[in-house]
Amino acid sequence: MKPKVFVTKPIPEQVEAYLNTHCELDKWEGPEEIPRQQLLDRIADVEGLLTTGGSIDQELLAHAPRLRVVSNISVGYNNFDLQAMRKRGVWGTNTPHVLTETVADLAFALILATARRVAELDKLVKEGRWTDSTDEMLFGTDVHGKTLGIIGMGRIGAAIAKRARYGFDMTVSYYNRHPRPDLEEQWGVTYLPLNNLLQTSDFVLTMIPLTDDTIHFIGKEQFAQMKPTAIFINVSRGKIVDEFALIEALKKKQIWGAGLDVFEEEPVSPVNPLLQMPNVVTLPHIGSATKQTRLAMAMLAAKNLVAALQGNEPPDLVPELRMARKRE
pLDDT digits (tens, 9 = 90+) for 109-166: 999 999 999 999 999 999 999 988 778 888 999 999 999 999 999 999 999 999 999 9
CA distances from residue 299 to 51, 98, 132, 201 in whole angstroms, order as listed: 12, 10, 50, 38
Query: Who has greater pLDDT, 134 or 278?
Result: 278
Identify whether 177 is a catalytic site residue. no
Q: What is the pLDDT of residues 237-265, one digit of tens each?
A: 999 999 999 999 999 999 999 999 999 99
221 shares a domain with 80: no
134 shares a domain with 243: yes
Domain containing 308 equals 4-97+291-327
Q: Which of 134, 103, 112 is nearest to 257 (CA)?
A: 112
96 class by beta-carbon count within 10 Å (0-12 exposed, 13-18 middle, 19+ buried): buried
Q: Catalytic one among 36, 265, 266, 325?
A: 266
227 shares a domain with 249: yes
On the question of pLDDT at 170 being above 60, the answer is yes
Residue 138: count other Cβ atoms within 10 Å of its Cβ: 15
On the question of pLDDT at 315 being above 90, the answer is yes
Separation of alpha carbons 204 and 226, rounded Å: 8
Identify whether 266 is a catalytic site residue. yes
Domain harbouring 163, CATH code? 3.40.50.720
Question: How many domains does the chain divide into?
Answer: 2
209 shares a domain with 120: yes
Q: So what's the pLDDT on residue 325?
A: 66
Identify whether 237 is a catalytic site residue. yes
On the question of pLDDT at 198 being above 90, the answer is yes
Is the whole-model pTM more than 0.85? yes
128 shares a domain with 90: no
Q: Which of 282, 301, 316 is the last residue of a domain?
A: 282
Separation of alpha carbons 248 and 233, rounded Å: 16
Q: Catalytic one among 285, 313, 320, 322?
A: 285
- Average pLDDT over every residue of 97-115: 97
φ and ψ of 151, to 5 deg: -100, 105
Q: Across all residues in the chain, what is the average pLDDT?
A: 95
Q: Which of 257, 236, 262 is nearest to 246 (CA)?
A: 257
315 shares a domain with 187: no
- Average pLDDT over every residue of 256-280: 97
131 shares a domain with 73: no
On the question of pLDDT at 71 being above 70, the answer is yes
- Average pLDDT over every residue of 82-98: 95
10 class by beta-carbon count within 10 Å (0-12 exposed, 13-18 middle, 19+ buried): middle
298 shares a domain with 158: no
φ and ψ of 174, to 5 deg: -145, 155
- Average pLDDT over every residue of 90-107: 96
Q: Catalytic one among 22, 68, 163, 237?
A: 237
On the question of pLDDT at 234 being above 60, the answer is yes
Lowest-pLDDT choice from 128-142, 180-194, 274-288, 298-312 = 128-142
254 shares a domain with 318: no
Sheet holding 91-93, edge to edge: 24-27, 4-7, 48-51, 69-72, 91-93
Q: So what's the pLDDT on residue 326?
A: 62
225 shares a domain with 164: yes
297 shares a domain with 238: no
Separation of alpha carbons 206 and 259, rounded Å: 11
Q: So what's the pLDDT on residue 133?
A: 77
Q: So what's the pLDDT on residue 320?
A: 86
250 shares a domain with 105: yes
Separation of alpha carbons 140 and 151, rounded Å: 24
Q: Which of 226, 227, 228 is nearest to 241 (CA)?
A: 226
Query: Who has greater pLDDT, 97 or 299?
Result: 299
Q: So what's the pLDDT on residue 108?
A: 97
